[in-house]
Chains A and B, each alone.
Chain A
Amino acid sequence: MTDVAVPSPAVAAMATRRSVAYRLLREPTAFVSTLFLVLVVVAAVLAPWIAPYDPYFTDQAKALRPPFEDPSYLLGTDAQGRDMLSRLLYGTRLTLLMGLVALVTGGGLGALVGILAAYYRCVDGLLMRTMDVLLSFPAILFGLAIAAITGPGLTPIVIALAIATVPLLARIARSTALVVMQQDYIDAARSVGLGDAAIIRRYLMPNCLSSIFVFMTLRFGQIILIGAALSFLGLGAQPPTAELGTMAANGRDFLFFAPHIATVPSLSIFAIVLAFNVLGDALRDVLDPRLRQ
């Protein structure tokens, strides 16, 4: 008797997934940005354990220390004598969290709207015109309007970012879903008598996921950037909370004399956004069958 290995569909799917990760990491830029983002996320998550100081402990006597001068304050101190490295770790944590909450809520809602619009063509016009209306407002304007009602803080920023993400994801999800809807397996699923909910859940959604995921990765970078911009305008975290955009904004008064207060958080924003963009691009290349050789 010979054992004939018949690959099960699950194993095949795993192989594809593995190869996606493999092909992604073979790209040097994608590898570096992934590595960087993993480090950033780990550092942010572990901030309370690895930060050398309490990020909120002020010491006026130690204010405005430049970086790399005193080994106990590697990145120097800010105008209140707080340790910049500790604030950077906590700030990154909050900035990433802010972006993630906005992305998941806004992006999730947007994707749902897009898929529903593609599946139920009768509501397509209504849903997508509503999205167009939302799309016509810049995120900054949403932020300003919401902050005017609630007062400054992280909540209005997250709400603004989420709302601004909904229409973008809705469009991407709808166009992808429309292509998927043309596939024979959808007709097949219908013909065997599956209900709408089952078709959407089992066939439509999974097949839209890859392009939604790529877009979300790219969008995450943008969200962080817009969030930082809103914080920079003074709408964001209130003192003493460390958040990268707010830190950059507060540092600009000291740009001449202690440039590190503004540049350290600004460079972090830059590096994080860049890494997400590079990763998003690489993911698109890997997942797009047309670019596959």
Chain B
Amino acid sequence: MVRPKTWTTALAAAAAMAFGAGTALAQGNTLNVARVIDADRYDPPRTTARSAGDILFLIADTLVALDWDLKTIKPLLAKSWSVTPDGKTYTFVLRDDVKFCDGRGLVADDVVYSIKRWVDPELKSPVRGRAGKVKDIRAKDPYTVEYELEEPFGELLFQLTQYFASIVDKASVEKLGADFGVKGFNGTGPYCWESWVPRQEFTLKRNAAYKWGPDFYANRGPAHIERMVWKIIPEDSTRLAAVQTNQVHITQYVPYIALDQVMKQPNLKTQQAQSYLWTYYFGFKVDRELMSDIRVRRAMNHGVDRDALVKSVWFGHATPAYTPVSPDTPDFNARTLDTPFKYDVEKARQLLDEAGWKPGPDGIRVKDGKKLAPVFYGINGSPARQLAEAVQGDLRKIGIDLQVNLFDATIGWGKLATQEFDAFAMSYPYVSVGDAYNLYFRSAAAPTPNRMNWKNPKTDDLLARGTAAVTAEERRRHYDEVQMQIQEATLWLPIIHEQLHLTASARLDGLRAHGIYGCAIYKGLDFKFK
């Protein structure tokens, strides 16, 4: 057996030769970024992809920014804001020195236009609900915006830090029409749109006028890096080789298997985000015959060894999950951890026995002549495939034959919107308990993203009350209760809470990973070559 290190070096050198020729020329003050997939478009309210956020956080700004801790709201386009005591009206005072990439100054009408466009039913934004129940948005004067809600929405400021809430230029939207975010874009971010070759690369150039960046960056002026080139490198091995040979300068997508080695490599450095909320889970369709029995769902939770999964799929760089959101999440109810469905094969078998599923001749459990073989849908990729196979292997040991079907991303999302499967796998980012639970567990969110088909009036009521609560205590009370209810109902098999690592060339200064929506580079203002 050849030692892994030798293999790596040899392959890396080969990949460098194949990959290097073109990129070596474009050095200078250009930052090459590697990532795995592209987005279908870069129009803020019309996508939910992390890969869209990568770029949108750089070419557009939001009213408010989210600090490294993912808990503190900081000024960005709005230098200050206030909320009326009833929690229904937010008044934002905008900076008066903000310029779009085309040089025009930002005014309150741009904010009004962008938010109205986001909540316009005609735009069919999949994230419309994240803006709250908007009653009206008004420009009181050129630099003051009033954001009025039908009912209080405690997490509005958190939602306004997300890229869906990016402020865009009306003229650019109207001029480009359906091509907005495809052929061009006009925003106020630290970078401007230069060119996009779908599924290949996205080139950004610095916005030289930029001086309104959030104060948690040391650099308060324009970005140090003049150009960014975001390259799509889907193959794990190729991407790893490109990083190890400094063909790309930075990525958050080092394959987990290589992370330990990369951390030790002297020409690279790696930084982990201090706060990061992204969870992998399996969901169950509770109205399907095989999944309707809570004992089966709990048995599946007891049957999967998350610690082993963390080691074998994430190579130690993840945290086992027993709750739908990470314990670091704002408003997390720690009591849900008292009833985790931890790895306990005996308990799992016992639950299945109780539920009437008896082992058949091939070890797979049977009841009334029907096999316990739930149909599973997922989207193919890494680590999704390894995860599906590992869970399948664990469930097989308790007599459940998970029928894994993995689809290409192009048809996978459509398949996941159907009612033809029992279980599915997904991973998702969130900002708070309210964000996560409203996204997934409301009746109105069925059939997607509430693919569990969980329709429960008590859940709906608690979530509505928690969302509309004016005080933090009131919100906590409702959210605590709904978390307990969902935990007891066992709608998911939480797998892991992801960790976010940003790996860069040792030549790059100012490296710090941000956890917002999994887009670790966020505004990238402090990056600088030595």
Contacts and interface: CB of A to CB of B under 8 A. Distances in A.
Contacts of B240: 256
Contact of A253 (B236, B311, B390, B411): B236
Interface in B139-172: none
A111 B414 CA distance: 40
Interface residues of B, number: 38
Interface stretch (B400-408, B503-511, B513-521): B400-408
B1 A60 contact: no
Interface in A236-256: 238-240, 250, 252-256
A58 B257 contact: no
**Which of A58, A79, A250, A256 has most B Cβ within 10 Å?**
A256
Contacts of A64: 312
A255 B4 contact: no
A152 B404 CA distance: 11
A67 B1 CA distance: 7
A259 B388 contact: no
B389 A80 contact: yes
Given A79-B312, A80-B312, A254 B407 contact: no
B319 interface: no
Contacts of A56: 393, 396
Interface in B376-399: 380, 382, 385-386, 388-390, 392-394, 396
Interface in B347-383: 380, 382
Dominant secondary structure at the B interface: helix
A148 interface: yes
A58 B393 contact: yes
B221 interface: no
Contact of A238 (B237, B393, B404): B404
B380 A256 contact: no
B390 A58 contact: yes
B8 interface: yes
A108 interface: no
Nearest to B389: A239
A250 B390 CA distance: 13
B215 interface: no
A60 B385 contact: no
Dominant secondary structure at the A interface: loop
Interface string B200-231: 00000000000000000000000000000000
Contacts of B394: 58
Nearest to A58: B393
A60 B311 contact: yes
A56 B7 CA distance: 28
Nearest to A54: B396
A264 B415 CA distance: 33
A63 B309 CA distance: 11
B7 A256 contact: yes
Contact of B404 (A61, A69, A239): A239
B7 A259 contact: yes
Contact of B305 (A60, A63, A148): A60
A48 interface: no
B236 A58 contact: no
A151 to B, nearest CB: 6
B258 interface: yes
A120 interface: no
Given A79-B386, A238-B405, A257-B258, A57 B393 contact: yes
A68 interface: yes
B69 interface: no
28 contacts: A56-B393, A58-B389, A58-B390, A58-B393, A60-B305, A60-B312, A60-B390, A60-B393, A66-B1, A79-B313, A80-B386, A80-B393, A81-B312, A151-B415, A152-B405, A152-B406, A234-B380, A238-B404, A240-B404, A250-B385, A252-B237, A253-B237, A254-B257, A256-B4, A256-B7, A256-B8, A256-B237, A259-B2
Given A58-B394, A64-B312, A80-B389, 9 more contacts: A57-B396, A60-B312, A60-B393, A69-B1, A151-B407, A239-B385, A239-B388, A255-B237, A259-B2
